[in-house]
Amino acid sequence: MSAIGSLVFCTDCGNLLDSSTGDANTLLTCACCGTENRDTSSQTVLTKTKASSFPSVLRQKRSAVQTVEMSDRDNEATAMETCPECGRKEVKYQSLQLRGADEGSTNFYTCECGYKWKENN
């Protein structure tokens, strides 16, 4: 049997053995071939990590509060909507996904008169 750190492998088939205790008097039975092997690992190693140790874009998306960058908001287009303030028929709008992925986006409208409003889709 061979050991690498706390991982112990069967001498006959090379299968990874379960439950290494670090005690050389313990016999570990291979689930694959049934051979009994001595536990030759130096010690049992326990490792712990923090979520910040492995940054990920997916993990950031899971946070409860998300930040919308200004570069995300620079996507204005024109729409044929009537401004409730001045009656103009064409206004600029931006569409942002502010709620859950299974919900509609939010449209932010801006008229040339300066009036602004939003609608949830």
Residues annotated within the binding site are 10, 13, 30, 33, 83, 86, 111, 113
Cα(11)–Cα(79) distance, integer angstroms: 72
CB 70 within 8 A of CB 51: no
CB 35 within 8 A of CB 12: yes
Q: Is 72 helix (H, G, I), strand (E, B) or coil?
A: helix
List binding-site positions for Zn(2+). Answer: 10, 13, 30, 33, 83, 86, 111, 113
